[in-house]
Structure 1
Amino acid sequence: MRRPVVEILLVALGTVLLGGLSACGEGDRFEGYCAEVEEQQEPLSEAFAGGGPTALIEALPSFRALQEKSPDDISDEWGLLVGRIETLVEALDAAGVDAASYDRDDPPEGLSTDEKTVIDAAAGELATPATAAALEGVQQQARDVCKAPLSF
């Protein structure tokens, strides 16, 4: 009669130990991401220091690096954020427009209505609640998990 109880206890103990080991691995899961967060703090601060209209575009290389290292629980937010910035960059590039000098109210000569519409739509997606939530999500993750702020 004792044998099944011992076997049950051994199985239970093994399960607890394996669960504990995988929980210990949680930190490892974030280690590369947190190292990247620390590495990108200065470039992000520089990109956003001026607060200009191209800050998100200037931050794109840092965002891509963070997206590449991001854990699964924040990858959707990074994907949304990076994707929307890339869409704007593509729209500006396709229209041959410099992001730093683009003025929506006084578009450059030769910009077609269709090109302006595509640029406006891409820029508009950056101003949506979903994009704001993604930005807040990646910032919160950095603070909570990495104990390091991402300053935007």
Structure 2
Amino acid sequence: MRPVRTAARTAAAALLTAALGGVAGCGEDDPAAAYCGLVEEHQAELTDIVGGGGPDALLGALGIFRELQDQAPRDLADEWQQVVGRVAALDEALRAAGLDPAAYDREQPPAGLTDAERARVDAAARELVAPATTAAVGGLEQQARDVCGTPLVL
């Protein structure tokens, strides 16, 4: 089993679904229209980046997630902070260890990877799929249903 890859794929699917779910139902008079518009603007790009399901998909979408976080309604600040924070923590752990996220295999780590670096990457991957992050994704999904009027199917 490859926890970093599995965790990234699970989180990627949930985040893409949450982000894409916010598109429909956002009207011009809706206070979340700018946020919904931004989600719509990035829909195809997010589909390409995250939909590919590669181990580095979430990391490739981090810039878009940050932009969505910046435009999100205040009631989503905590959820986006959790999600962006966990993806960024994994990115930082991988970078600090000098690892290529697309090529990293936990079962066969590259020569020179220290136990501390491996532990940091593993911890970041676990946090990405932890209950707090899952709950944050659920909050984003709820917002998509309630504010943008779009039910999500996970």
- With structure 1 as the length reference, what TM-score do the two structures score? 0.75
Separation in 1 of the partners of 2:39 and 2:142? 12
1:44–1:151: 8 Å Cα contact kept in structure 2?
Answer: no
Matches within 5 A, 1:45-84: 45-84=47-86
Moved more, 54-63 or 77-86: 54-63
Task: Give the secondary structure class of the aligned counterpart of 1:29.
Answer: coil
Q: Which residue in 2 is equivalent to 1:118?
A: 120
TM-fit CA distance, 1:108: 0.7
Relative contact order higher in (CA < 8 Å, ≥ 6 apart):
2
Larger Rg: 1
TM-fit CA distance, 1:29: 3.0
What is the aligned counterpart of 2:143 among 129, 141, 144? 141
Matches within 5 A, 1:91-110: 91-110=93-112
1:81–1:131: 8 Å Cα contact kept in structure 2?
Answer: yes
Q: Which residue in 2 is equivalent to 1:29?
A: 31
Q: Which residue in 2 is equivalent to 1:87?
A: 89
Which consecutive residues of structure 1, in runs of 5 or more, have no partner in the other structure? 1-26
* Identity percentage of aligned residues: 52
Q: Which residue in 1 is equivalent to 2:12?
A: none
Structure that is richer in helix per residue: 1
1:41–1:151: 8 Å Cα contact kept in structure 2?
Answer: no
Question: Stretches of 4+ moved more than 2 A in 1?
Answer: 146-152
TM-fit CA distance, 1:144: 2.8
Which consecutive residues of structure 2, in runs of 5 or more, have no partner in the other structure? 1-28
TM-fit CA distance, 1:142: 2.4
Equivalent pairs counted in the alignment come to: 126
Q: Which residue in 2 is equivalent to 1:38?
A: 40
Report the aligned-residue RMSD.
Answer: 2.0
TM-fit CA distance, 1:136: 2.3
